[in-house]
Chains A and B, each alone.
Chain A
Amino acid sequence: MSGAANPSANGMGSKTAPYMLILPAILFAFWIIGYPIYDLANMSVHSVNRFGVTTTFNDFNNYSRLFSHQLFVGMLVRTLIWTFGVVVGTIVLSVPVALILNEKFFGRQIARIIIMLPWAVSLTMMAIVWRWSLNGQSGMVNATLYQFGMLQSPIEWLATAGTAFPIEIAVGILVSIPFTVTVFLGGLSSLPSDIFEAARIDGASAWQRFRYLTMPLLKPFLNIVLVLNFIYVFNSFPLIWVMTQGDPANSTDILVTWLYKLAFRYGELGMASALSVVMFLILLALTITYAMLAMRNERRN
């Protein structure tokens, strides 16, 4: 980033050139992303019927109806459980997996490809296959349990929140591992190997090397992965929508699935737009956190 110090680096010469170059991207974003944000914000403070006609300013009635809705708190709590569950689970599993994949062993390339596989397959397909696998009467999960004699009568895995929600979290973890492992692998490969060599010569055990060298050095990557995963998972819609659609009795509903129901099933456009704005603000707060973390990293580097 030495461009400022080096005037000749200004490749295109003209002063307006950089603006012309970024202009299309900015226009695009304002058009397709910016306008909807404005429209949602506007709708959220007006009365609106189910066919989308807005009328009068309604004194934040949409927001008060949203916050006082009997399902709202439950949705929020489940969203937090879902997000923390997936993010924490992903990281706890990804660190050892990345450490293993960073070792040299036979078939490492194949192992890497397999672990990355869920990344290539869409969440929708994953969810469809798992939904079918977990079918109580004919699914392959129960088939496997029967075959090993671990099951006498069918278990309906998706019939109660007690099993359905943890399973959805587990599938969420499964599909989040590839990205997380990738970032950790990138981090591990950037670590200077001579320090580890030195530590080994000094007689540090493997655990000590992990605890006092690897972990602190991976910390910046950990921060990034935490925030990015948090945002992805918070926004994750297809898994739950396909597997249970929030059933039974809203016990697997989270904010995004509820938002979709409010907007497109119930025609509650006022509450839906208010919820969109609330979620946008939550994401914005997370983004700012991320930006601050990233900046701190940059400074350290």
Chain B
Amino acid sequence: MGRYVVRRLLQMIPVFIGATLLIFLMVNVMGDPIAGLCGERRCDPATAARLEHEFGLDEPVWQQYLTYMGNVFTGDFGTAFNGQEVTELMSTAFPVTIRLTLIAILFEVVIGVTLGVVTGLRRGRPVDTGVLLFTLVVISVPTFVTGLLLQLLLGVKWGWIRPSVSSEAPFDELILPGLVLASVSLAYVTRLTRTSIAENRRSDYVRTAVAKGLPRHRVVVRHLLRNSLIPVVTFIGADIGFLMGGAIVTERIFNIHGVGYQLYQGILRQNTQTVVGFVTVLVLVFLVANLVVDLLYAVLDPRIRYA
């Protein structure tokens, strides 16, 4: 197990470097890192040269990348052009997005798994067909449409919630945004659980459990669910990274000042340091979440042994 973790950690390094380098190149080479510094106008050549030198932008790109990563590993994510430390931005943005993600995951587990189990056990019945069609609709309607529509209905028309979230973003204001963020994953969790349950329901060991004379709830919970939820748990685990990176749209709709909001602002204002810093952290979160999922597999399924 230990050796496996080490191997996986080593495998993560090239992926981490590749992904961050890609983003770094996109931002620094394709974009114009100093464009945001002179307000609406383009900088005059002299100022531009001075600024480029000041930020080390006249060095070769690979050297800029190395310097940047070196700083990152000492905890220095640089300073945004408005003088704010990127780490400071992160310390206000990440807690908000983490809360949002937690709510989203909660929705996936509670609603997604429940619907999946119910439909998996009643395959082919009207409930099943109905839920299945509903998940397809949820998957198909882009999140920004779902979000805008729910905001229109619940926030504007019926006035059940505040249409936009205050800057403290407490849990209760994040419930609807969390549902919107979760919606697509939730539909996938439902479908995945359903397929998994329906497949395992016909398995030999479930038949054995019935033949042993176990009560139905015991057959379902102890024998069927335990096996069927292995892929679901790993899906949800891997989803953490995706949700945090995908919160841009949700955060924009509900005006939530989280990671996605900062990133969006950073990109629009060509704030290189902010963008690269946040993306680096997101990629790390994604990679670590995937590693944890792999290890979780071994815990949940005794047949898997990592050497």
Does A associate with B in a complex? no
